[in-house]
Structure 1
Amino acid sequence: MKKTELNSLTLEESKKLMLDLGEKSYRGEQLFSYFNRNKEVNLDKINLLPKKTRSVLMEKGYVNKIKIIKKFESKLDNTKKYLFALEDKNIIESVLMIYPHGKSVCISTQVGCRMGCEFCASTKEGRVRDLTSAEMLNQIYLIEKDIGENIDNIVLMGSGEPLDNYQNTLRFLKIIHDPKGHNTSYRNITLSTCGITPKIYDLADENLPITLSISLHSPFDSERRKIMPIAKTYSIKELIQAVKYYEKKSNRRITFEYTLVEGVNDRKEDVEELSDVLNGLKSHINLIPLNPIKEYNKSRPERNRVEEFKKELEKRHIKTTIRGEKGTDISASCGQLRRDYIEGNK
């Protein structure tokens, strides 16, 4: 009989579990808060629970634990990169970034990724498996315990495609937001997706006002298909229709991630088409100069070309920023450090 992963339970599920064990529902609150407010994982030490209850919990359930195996600290900007070992020995990574507006953590949602975007290091070995919600949560909790401070903003943009692990991601969002636990505002959470269109509709219908970030990278279907396999399934027109539905339901501005690749998507016609594609949307474009990897033989544009691309978009009344690079001395881009570590330990 499969055991229950106790630290992946929502508050209501924790209460129901305790009622099923013949306990009062408030015991479920104690269990939930122990994991998600106290950030603890040792069932033996929940002294609020009777010893007999703890024994039954250990018999019927288990706690999914991860551990920090390596930490890299940038000498340039205080960015920290964490490598975590999962119980099955798989490796995942997270990044802590310090900004004037607070501390942000970018977490992984899968071991690897199967989306196959050409310029992304995290997808080169494919998807190994989904992360459970506890494995997502504990990336944040372990980083908070390591730095002795709480995280202000959470970004689901590390290794993996969150909407390809939809149920665990949704559970993670509800747990991290719960006032009895970490109590993170939905408005402080960003979910990045390459564009699994049906799941964008599903997420919109959940009515969780998180920020949706779309990896667009080209306004032309023909070019987008070359660099993003998902574009062979869902056209830009279909993607934008889903995004408009999400915008209407959430009343939130949509962010579009746009990795600039020299000679591929940094041309005048790209600016013009982007303006047409985003017409009528409350949107913001985040320009990302390409971070080259050995498997993708393309270059980033020169800085002045990036600035010019930004100006051309702003002339068309599209709010645009250029993402500041973080942790360049510690391979802080998605998947790079994990791959380097795995290859170095073969």
Structure 2
Amino acid sequence: MEAFGEPELCFPQLLNASCVKPKRSPFEAVLTYILVSSISLLTAFLNLLVIVSISHFKQLHTSTNLLLLSLAVSDFLLAPLLPFQIMLLNGCWFLGDLMCTLYHYVVYIITLASVGTMVLLSVDCYVAVCYPLHYSAKITRRRVKICVCLCWICSVIFQSLILMKNLQQPGRYNSCIGECVIVINFIAGLADVTFSFIIPITAIIVLYMRVFVVAVSQARAMRSHIAAVSQRSTKVTAKNSEWKAARTLGVVVFAFLMCFCPYYCVSLTGKDNMNASSAAFIIILSYSNACLNPMIYALFYPWLRKSVKLILTFKILQPDSCEANLL
């Protein structure tokens, strides 16, 4: 059809009522499919390792790990939804208006819950470093469970309000059959960007900056305290502490900004005249954060490397494997 200059339709039998497929090269289409599929499989695999590790081994049933478990669950639930993004990137949605709205609704809830859990992890890290003597009293498993439940409940309520009109009448903004469009007004979009990006990233930066300052001050205090004993060794210890705090702050903030900044900047400016390649890149980049989360928040922990080894070698199936010493 394209050889004769005619546009390719999503539903050829519907003629003028069908949407027109965007023009994309076969190489670009295959590359998009491979990237989305790879991110989906890797996201599911990595987060499943975290879920199994924390759920199975009793030694890992701590307050902090409950937050890691919530983050892994949200990212794991996102993984099977990523392949549906291929239809959106190809410009043709074949599952109907209701499924289109529900797809975006579920994805937005999971994404917001994931971002909220990252904020809770920042708070947990802040209390652990800045108030270590009060950590066990302030951060209990019961409080963490309540915070996690509230995070998910608030995500559901917030996205229900943001997408209310779309949920009441699915497909109301579609201009043709095969289109999957979700439209929110400027006020709702501003609220979405504020509560889903600006406030969370501000909280994360402020908390981790405070953690960094405290870590540096503690390293300097330690260096001053034992300078007379081993000056050379102390310099190395202090330097390692400073770099560890800086690396944690940098990885957390940079990964979050790298994945979500382009998406929310486009959402905030309201630019809808992007070409298909740019839109695909921004969407894939935002979803890749679900794949990066287990590597940032979990794979840096030594206990996860030990638990993954037990899982992949099937030693987890042995009796009393849940009592294994991983710390």
TM-score range, shorter chain: under 0.3
**Higher Cα Rg: structure 1 or 2?**
2
TM-score relative to the length of structure 2? 0.23
TM-score relative to the length of structure 1? 0.22
Q: More helix per residue: 1 or 2?
A: 2
> Quick one: higher RCO (CA 8 Å, sep 6+), 1 or 2?
2
Q: More strand per residue: 1 or 2?
A: 1
